[in-house]
Copies of this chain bind each other. A is one copy, B any other.
Amino acid sequence: MTAVGSAFPDVHPRAGLPRRVTVYEVGPRDGLQAEATTVPVEIKAEYCRRLIGAGISTLEITSFVSPRWVPQLADAEVLLDRLRTEGVLDTDGLRSVVLTPNARGLARAIAAGAREIAVFVSATETFARRNLNSTVAEALADASRVIAGARAAGIAVRGYISMCFGDPWEGRVSPREVVAIARQLLEMGCAGISLGDTIGVATPGHVLALLDELGRAGIAADRLAVHFHDTYGQALANVLSALEYGITEFDSSAGGLGRCPYAEGATGNLATEDLVWMLHGLGIDTGIDLEELVRTSMWMSTHVGHPPVSPVVAALTSGA
């Protein structure tokens, strides 16, 4: 195993920022679903165990999506059932989530022992049509049924909104449309909302503008998470802007799993290690052991066939 270690980051807290935040780890789901290589279920289970061992306390494990759409996650039942049987889901303080795009996915997730689910809706009509083959209104109606079903089973629900900051076909997205969808998802019973910058075009002022609009609509920071993609290299600056607003839940993928492994196209999720480096430098507690997380990402990289896409992982494992 590669040596991992650094005297850095130096800790320099900044006034007005949260003292503790939740890192919502999406590597096993959002990461693996975007990798070309399909990883065996026993490796996925070990990956989840190692992430939890590194201090990840909020973990999106898989998606109960049709295997025709996402063959990489066709083993969702087997994986969840294995983690449940082994007691991994009962780890102290662990919040585990599975994505359920529709009522069939919810039924499968409940049968496999899911503890929390996530649903998603697009902020734009074009993406709704292309990704879900529905209108936004139809997607919200579907989400409403899934949320009601989950709540009836005593299961908490997270709502994702895609394309909150821009859409490749429609261009600009009005913050008011995002607010309207967020409000509906919360009224339907979502415990919180993750605001997705699916194409990575947001900048820090845009982040603040959307959060302000949500705040004016009465949606408090503690009901919100942010999910930034790093397509334009802006993800971490956007996290800083969201921290300044008071957001305390941030989505990221360990080792940048799911990102394109070439510098000239590093799209996809912010890497958890890069996020944690900044948070720890700011003196913000995450509960995560950065060196152990780096080791986990290095291990996983051998199973997906390319190095982690994270400057922090690269720096902490080069020549050390």
Shortest Cβ distance from residue A28 to the other chain B in the assembled complex, whole angstroms: 21
Cβ contacts under 8 Å, A240 to chain B: 204, 237, 240-241
What count of chain A residues pass the 8 Å CB interface test? 59
Which of B6, B165, B271 contacts A10 (CB under 8 A)?
A: B165
| Docked complex Cα distance between A8 and B229 (Å) | 15
| Docked complex Cα distance between A310 and B232 (Å) | 8
For the complex with contacts A9-B201, A232-B312, A267-B315, 10 further pairs of A-B residues with Cβ separation under 8 Å are A8-B201, A9-B206, A10-B202, A10-B206, A11-B205, A206-B281, A234-B236, A234-B281, A266-B311, A266-B314
Cβ contacts under 8 Å, A105 to chain B: none
Task: Tell whether, in the assembled complex, residue B271 and residue A14 are in contact, meaning their CB atoms are under 8 Å apart.
Answer: no
Q: Per-residue CB proximity of A209-248 to B under 8 Å, as 1/0?
A: 1000000000000000000001111101101110000000
Instruction: Judge if A152 is at the interface, Cβ distance under 8 Å.
Output: no
| Docked complex Cα distance between A83 and B53 (Å) | 59
Instruction: Judge if A131 is at the interface, Cβ distance under 8 Å.
Output: no
Instruction: Judge if A166 is at the interface, Cβ distance under 8 Å.
Output: yes
Cβ-closest chain B residue relative to A201: B8
Instruction: Judge if A39 is at the interface, Cβ distance under 8 Å.
Output: no
| Docked complex Cα distance between A198 and B201 (Å) | 28
| Docked complex Cα distance between A41 and B5 (Å) | 42
Q: Which of A30-38, A95-103, A109-117, A257-265 contacts B (4 or more CB under 8 A)?
A: A257-265
Instruction: Judge if A208 is at the interface, Cβ distance under 8 Å.
Output: yes
Task: Tell whether, in the assembled complex, residue A282 and residue B203 are in contact, meaning their CB atoms are under 8 Å apart.
Answer: yes
Cβ contacts under 8 Å, A200 to chain B: 311, 315
Shortest Cβ distance from residue A198 to the other chain B in the assembled complex, whole angstroms: 13
Cβ contacts under 8 Å, A237 to chain B: 236-237, 239-240, 278
| Docked complex Cα distance between A139 and B259 (Å) | 44
Shortest Cβ distance from residue A82 to the other chain B in the assembled complex, whole angstroms: 31
Cβ-closest chain B residue relative to A209: B12
| Docked complex Cα distance between A216 and B286 (Å) | 32
Cβ contacts under 8 Å, A239 to chain B: 237
Task: Tell whether, in the assembled complex, residue B314 and residue A13 are in contact, meaning their CB atoms are under 8 Å apart.
Answer: no
Instruction: Judge if A7 is at the interface, Cβ distance under 8 Å.
Output: yes
Shortest Cβ distance from residue A20 to the other chain B in the assembled complex, whole angstroms: 15
Task: Tell whether, in the assembled complex, residue B12 and residue A205 are in contact, meaning their CB atoms are under 8 Å apart.
Answer: yes
Shortest Cβ distance from residue A254 to the other chain B in the assembled complex, whole angstroms: 14
**A232 with B10: in contact, given A266-B311, A315-B200, A318-B265 (CB under 8 Å)?**
no
Task: Tell whether, in the assembled complex, residue B281 and residue A314 are in contact, meaning their CB atoms are under 8 Å apart.
Answer: no
Shortest Cβ distance from residue A318 to the other chain B in the assembled complex, whole angstroms: 6
Task: Tell whether, in the assembled complex, residue A205 and residue B312 are in contact, meaning their CB atoms are under 8 Å apart.
Answer: no
Instruction: Judge if A172 is at the interface, Cβ distance under 8 Å.
Output: yes
